[in-house]
Each structure stands twice: as C-alpha cells, then as structure tokens.
Structure 1
Amino acid sequence: MIPVEAFIFDMDGTMIDSMPWHAKAWVEFTRRRGMAIDVPDLMARTTGRTGTECIRELLQREVEQAEADALTREKEDIYRELFGPSFAEVAGFRTFAAHASVQGYKLAVGTAGDIHNVAFAMARLSMEPEPLTIVRGDEGLPGKPQPAIFLEAARRIGVAPERCVVFEDAPFGIEAARRAGMHAVAVCSTHSAQELAGPHVLAAVRDYNELMNTDFLERIHVAIA
C-alpha cells in the first residue's frame, strides 16, 4: 500500500462553483467581437487549459503572446465581474480541506487560472490553513491534459506523485492526473461521473459534503490499497 500524503485541488469547478460564470464570460467576450460560438463545445475544448491556450483555441490561429495576454485579461475581468456578486465554493470544500489538513495531509492547488483569478478566489475563500503552494496557468507550464501543473505542485511540496490525490471537475484534469501518475477524485459539479471516469479515480461525488458523508478521509488508504 502506498500512503497518501497530499491532496492537489484544481480551482475552477473544484474549489469554487465558477464554471457557469466562465461560460457566461465567454458569451459576453465574444458578443463584444461579433463572434458566434458554440459555448458547450468551446468549454469542452478549453476547460483546464491556460488563458493563452484558450484564446488560441477560440480564434483557431496562432496568437502573439502580448495579444493573448490582453484578450485573456479582458475575458477574465468579465468573469470576475459576473461571478463576484454570486461567489460560492463547491459545497463543503473549506470544511473538507480543513479536516484533511488536521489529519496531516499536505494541501496544494494546481490550476490553469491566472494570478488575478487565483487572488480573486483565495481572498473570498479565506482558507484556514492556506494551501502550501498554488501552481498557476500563467507560470509558463502547459495546461491540462498535460500533467505539468500537477507535477510541479507535487514537486513544490516535496511529495512523490504516486502519493498525491488530485481533485478535479473536468475531463482534461482527470486525464492530467492520470498522466502524472496520481489518483483522482471526480468532483461532478459540471460533468457526469461517466465523463470523469478512469481506473485511477477513487470516487465521484457531487460535492465535498457527499465526500465527507462517505468517510473518505478515513477510507482513502483502503481505496488505493
């Protein structure tokens, strides 16, 4: 049995209930440019990817970094403006994270979000204790499904990948965890359990209240034995 030492959380849709507001932001962002988009298709192609990757996927062309940065800032400004008044965590997240920390698990965040979205979320969550590290999508690493963000989070907290469990709400993130050699928990806030399935997925839940009701923290070592 390999003991679990750390939990790595994706942010959007996993820690915070933000994905509907990202979709609304894309609608407004493209409306301003007279673009017609298939929002579900765009979300499926971009969720878990970095801002630059999202812009290139949207425009379907190579985009210089300065242009990508400017467009990303505009879209994320819209997102924060829309989500701010209705900000909410995924139910039970802070309680679960606090319990996990008390039981000795190291906590980290691995997100494709940028520095502004991370600051926005963390200021409103007021986690106690705070994660040991936060790896962001604007640090030069490739977005999910590449495993780089999760592997860097594990490296920073000094835990081997096989001793980490990733919490994710999106197929690209679940696949990134697999490629990183990590187990995963599927948080079904925006996708079904079937869409987030995999041999490395220990549980699929709607939120952290459901996870705690299954005594996950007490049973996790049994689950990966």
Structure 2
Amino acid sequence: MSRIPTQAIIFDMDGTMIDSMPWHAQAWVEFARRRRMDVDVPDLMARTTGRNGTECIRELLGREVPQDEADALTREKEDIYRELFGPRFAEVAGFRQFARQVADRGLKVAVGTAGDIHNVHFALSHPQMDVQPLAIVRGDEGLPGKPEPAIFLEAARRIDVPPQHCIVFEDAPFGIEAARRAGMRAVAVCSTHSPAQLAGPHVLAAVRDYTELMNTDFLESIHVATV
C-alpha cells in the first residue's frame, strides 16, 4: 500500500455513496419515452456518467444547447430519477459505517459529484444517510464535469488538503480518470463497472462495496498523516 500520507477522502456520490446508477439509467429511459426519443441508454450512460447536467444534455441531443434549455431538460430528467429512486433509496453497502471509520481516524471528508444541488440534498438529507462532509462540490457550480479534474481539485482546495494527500472513491471510468488528472490516488467502487474498467496506476484497491473494503483492513493499511 502507498506510503504517501493521507489527509482526506473525497467521495463521488452516485454509485459510490448511494446505489443510484440503475435508477439514473431508468430515468433516462423514462425521459426518452415521455419525449418520444430513441435513446441508446447504455451508450449514453457510458458517455455521460460523471459529467454535469448540461454536458449530459448536449451529449444526448448531439448539439450545443442554450443554458436555459439544458437546465430545464436536466431538471426534468433528475425529477424522474428522484421519483424512481426515492422509494427504493439505498446506500452502497457499508458506506455509512466506512464513512464513520474514516472520520474516527481523523481524516477529512469531502464530496465531489457531478450531481446538482437537488440531487445532493436528496441524497444527504435522506434519513438513511448521516455523513457530514466538510465540503461538497457539485456539477452545477460552473465547473466542468469528469474526466476533467476540476471538481476534485476544488474539493481538495475547500478542505485545504494538497491533492496528493487525497484519496478519491469512484465508481465510474471518468471519475477514476479525473482523480488521476488531479494527482490523487483512488479506490474503485465496482458497483456498476468492473475492476478492469476502473483500473489505473493510481488505483489502490477495487472492491464491490464498503463491506468488502472493510474486510481488507484498508484504513489500517494506508498511511494516515498526523497533525
């Protein structure tokens, strides 16, 4: 395991903290049905997971889209997602217990997500979630989505931790690549992708969920910086 001192954990949200990605896919299916659009949803997901709402809409339509139109279409799709996922809300197995262990070890916690303010509030205000990140960076704050590193770099800036001392937890190839570009190490959470799809020289571990990760004594194996 890397001996670079670790000061912070930055979690992606969808598919990493909460088991939401199948419901995002279903939301795209329903969005397309309501609008009588022919959409290859698996292909769209592969091209957009980790990108912000405006980028997703522009990929969907294959053209430049005025911001007001992109915002309206994003709201429509995300409203559908929350309607579908809300009654079935679930964390990625073991997340809350792991997050508590992270905090107990004195590590700072941040969230870096392409999700918008409504989806972040939906996730973090849910009764099942009790994580209290020091900073949350969202995809609707004017930053480019992943694989650009801006979201993760801004999260590190807000918690005052150098990028090399952060470990990113991610479930998507664009997010793993964003961590690499940010100069951060990563853990691949294979809730929707295979370890091979999330591989990289900066990836410290690839696990199905946090229960599996905790069984490896991951936190005990990393070098936690003391201040």
The reply to whether TM is greater than 0.5 is yes
Aligned to 2:83: 81
Matches within 5 A, 1:13-24: 13-24=15-26
Q: TM-score, normalised by structure 1?
A: 0.97
Aligned to 1:135: 137
- Give the partner amino acid of 1:116: H
Aligned to 1:188: 190
C-alpha separation in 2, matches of 1:153 and 1:199: 22
Change (3 A) 1:104 1:199: same
Alpha-carbon RMSD across the aligned residues, in angstroms, is 1.1
The runs of 5 or more residues in structure 1 that have no matched partner are none
How many residues are paired up?
A: 222
Contact 1:5/1:159 (8 A) holds in 2: yes
- Give the partner amino acid of 2:72: A
1:221 deviates by 2.4
Aligned to 1:113: 115
1:34 deviates by 1.0
Aligned to 1:45: 47
Cα deviation code 1:96-140 (max 9, x no counterpart): 000110100000000000000000000115544500010000000
Where do 4+ consecutive residues of structure 1 move more than 3 Å?
A: 125-129
Contact 2:124/2:131 (8 A) holds in 1: no
Which residue, 187, 204, 207 being the options, matches 1:205? 207
The runs of 5 or more residues in structure 2 that have no matched partner are none
- Give the partner amino acid of 1:197: A
- Give the partner amino acid of 1:80: R
Matches within 5 A, 1:52-71: 52-71=54-73
Aligned to 1:147: 149
Aligned to 1:32: 34
Instruction: Indicate the SS of the match to 2:114.
Output: coil
C-alpha separation in 2, matches of 1:14 and 1:21: 14
Aligned to 1:122: 124
Instruction: Indicate the SS of the match to 1:16.
Output: coil
C-alpha separation in 1, matches of 2:213 and 2:83: 31
Q: TM-score, normalised by structure 2?
A: 0.96
Contact 1:146/1:176 (8 A) holds in 2: yes
Instruction: Indicate the SS of the match to 1:124.
Output: coil
1:36 deviates by 1.0
Aligned to 1:165: 167
Aligned to 1:219: 221
